[in-house]
Structure 1
Amino acid sequence: MLKNIPKNLSPKLVKTLMEMGHGDEIVIADGNFPSATISTNVVRADGLKADELLNSILKLFPLDYEYSKEQVFLMKVVEGDNYRPEIWENYKTILKDSGEKHSIGYIERFEFYERARSSYAVIATGEEALYANIILKKGVVK
């Protein structure tokens, strides 16, 4: 057992975060996201909420605010869905409270899927909120 690792981060997820290098991206996916279709590197986090995982991950994971215009990416709401993702406000609060500088990019659904295909890994959560998918770009530790 290690100290100061949030309890909701599995050993596999911590290993995955450690393996990632500068510029690599990771997806925190909601329960509706086609995780296994998108990636061969899927970390199961069934039963866990995406915002709680984001909060825990940011305790260990630097964002790339020095070399990337945007460090966080959200899937745009599909035109006509008339839906306002409340979880985005949770994400913004968590990002602000983490002390990390960040800028959020919004990506069309199918472009988001394509970007996710090139991510290092996808974390498949049990998140039920719609449009809860988020991509994080890893920075450097100083």
Structure 2
Amino acid sequence: MKKNGILNAPLSRVIAELGHTDYIVIADCGLPIPPGVERIDLALKPGLPAFLDTLELVLADMQVERAVFANEISQHNPVIEHAATSMLDGKPIGHVPHAEFKQISRGARAIIRTGEASPYANVILYSGVIF
């Protein structure tokens, strides 16, 4: 049995398989997941697990090079945006329109669906390298 880090086997596997510039999405419970993209559904009920809790654990396991949010988070969910930006600890952060965010998500290695039930609580995390 795994003792530390992410215990969810599919999520742990996807992070381990990422190469440089591959990306995953951490999503609220409402983001549509395109056909063909691996869905890692962690949602248990609205709010559980929370987006920020999931992001914190993923960031502890994944080498992140940069992140992208939907533009709309700034107006509709600034508390989540500020907290997530702080957790990204100075990594480059981009913003795109939500429609473009959904298009980009089609190329994700996986979309991690949380129970987060607040608007635009989604982030694309691009994999970096550890050297």
TM range (shorter): 0.7 to 0.9
Q: How far 1:122 moved relative to its partner? A: 0.5
| Unaligned residue ranges in structure 1 (runs of 5+) | 65-70
Q: Aligned residue for 2:98?
A: 109
| Residues 95 and 102 in structure 1, CA contact (< 8 A), matched pair in contact too | yes
Distance in 2 of aligned mates of 1:38 and 1:91: 27
Aligned 1:21-36 pairs, distance under 5 A: 21-35=19-33
Distance in 2 of aligned mates of 1:48 and 1:107: 25
| Residues 74 and 135 in structure 1, CA contact (< 8 A), matched pair in contact too | yes
SS in 2 for 1:26: strand
| Residues 26 and 137 in structure 1, CA contact (< 8 A), matched pair in contact too | yes
SS in 1 for 2:25: strand
Distance in 2 of aligned mates of 1:38 and 1:110: 16
Distance in 1 of aligned mates of 2:12 and 2:19: 13
> Do residues 76 (structure 1) and 71 (structure 2) align?
yes
TM-score by length of 2: 0.87
Distance in 1 of aligned mates of 2:104 and 2:76: 23
> Do residues 129 (structure 1) and 106 (structure 2) align?
no
Residues matched between the structures, number: 126
Q: How far 1:40 moved relative to its partner? A: 2.8
**Offset from partner CA, 1:82-126 (integer Å, 9 cap, x none):** 534310011022122xxxx40110010111111110111100111
> Do residues 43 (structure 1) and 40 (structure 2) align?
yes
Q: How far 1:63 moved relative to its partner? A: 1.4
| Unaligned residue ranges in structure 2 (runs of 5+) | none
The 4+ residue runs of structure 1 with deviation greater than 4 A are none
Counterpart residue type for residue 2 of structure 1: K
| Residues 38 and 116 in structure 1, CA contact (< 8 A), matched pair in contact too | no
Q: Aligned residue for 1:89?
A: 82
| Residues 77 and 119 in structure 2, CA contact (< 8 A), matched pair in contact too | no
Question: Pairwise CA RMSD of aligned residues?
Answer: 1.7
Q: Aligned residue for 2:53?
A: 52
